[in-house]
Amino acid sequence: MLGWHFVDETLKNGRPVPADGEALSHDGPVSLCEQGLHASERVLDALKFAPGNTICRVECDAVGERQTDKFVCGSRTILWRLDGEEVLRAFARKVALDVADLWNMPDDVRRFLETGNDNLRVAARGAARQASREAALADEPQAAAAGEAARAAAARTHAARSTGLAAAWAASKATRRDDAWTEYNRLLETMIEAARASAPPEAEDDEWGDFADEIEAEFG
């Protein structure tokens, strides 16, 4: 079964993150939220539990219990991974723009969301926060939530995973559409695939460098 999983520099229990293609196995029975290895069928659901920004596409075996946003398994193998820093921040801006028509978006906010220019971030966050508060006081919940999506997208100190999750949650709340979460999940998966396709290939081993070391050892 294919799934999504996020990792940091190590696993949550401190163990090293396995290499791509190396199966990580759990000995003994598995139980959701208690013991075993976890993953999610949708990447946006996996983002709820992300300890880091590295996105992993995983293959899972011995799958046990499932909930709507996660499942537990006995074996999990990373098929490929991607640094999600940039794609998650870009995703946050996109979902915030998706609900731009639900509030009177300040120009500073729109410019930041459309460009991602970090020089505009502080002004955008402040303007979005103020507009969202005013909408809440005016009893305009959709506009307030749309403003919160933009504020999340412009967060300065939050990790990319938190930024993406908060923006998607607020935008989903603003739309009041039952399928908004599914739509945003599809958008994020598409963006991940595009980022992966455009990523530079991994550097090959420097075989000449190894050969040069041998020459130096022999004749130097």
Over the stretch 104-121, which tens digit does the pLDDT of each residue have?
A: 999 999 999 999 999 999
Q: Which of these three, 51, 83, 115, is where a domain ends? A: 83
What is the model's pLDDT at position 101?
97
What is the model's pLDDT at position 12?
85
Residue 34 and residue 70 in one domain: yes
What is the model's pLDDT at position 200?
77
Residue 97 and residue 75 in one domain: no
Residue 76 and residue 101 in one domain: no
Residue 115 domain flag: yes
- Look at residue 150 and tell me whether its pLDDT is greater than 60: yes
Residue 62 and residue 154 in one domain: no
Residue 6 and residue 51 in one domain: yes
Residue 7 and residue 56 in one domain: yes
Residue 35 and residue 107 in one domain: no
Domain containing 38 equals 2-83
Is the CB of residue 115 less than 8 Å from the CB of residue 90? no
- Mean pLDDT calculated for residue range 13-20: 92
| C-beta atoms surrounding 109 within 10 Å | 27
Name the domain count of the chain: 2
Residue 30 and residue 102 in one domain: no
93-97, 161-165, 169-173, 215-219: segment of lowest average pLDDT:
215-219
Residue 79 and residue 90 in one domain: no
Residue 151 and residue 112 in one domain: yes
Confidence tier at 13 by pLDDT (50, 70, 90): confident
Residue 8 domain flag: yes
Q: Which of these three, 61, 83, 105, is where a domain ends? A: 83
What is the model's pLDDT at position 141?
97
Give the C-alpha separation, 168 to 152, whole Å. Answer: 9
Residue 46 domain flag: yes
Q: Which of these three, 66, 83, 100, is where a domain ends? A: 83
Residue 158 domain flag: yes
- Look at residue 33 and tell me whether its pLDDT is greater than 60: yes
Share of the chain above pLDDT 90, in %: 84
Over the stretch 195-212, which tens digit does the pLDDT of each residue have?
A: 999 987 765 555 555 555
Give the C-alpha separation, 72 to 49, whole Å. Answer: 13
Helix or strand run (H / E) with residue 45: helix 43-46
Residue 58 and residue 146 in one domain: no
Confidence tier at 158 by pLDDT (50, 70, 90): confident
Is the CB of residue 108 less than 8 Å from the CB of residue 127? yes
Over the stretch 49-103, which tens digit does the pLDDT of each residue have?
A: 999 999 999 999 999 999 999 999 999 999 999 999 999 999 999 999 999 999 9
Residue 94 and residue 150 in one domain: yes
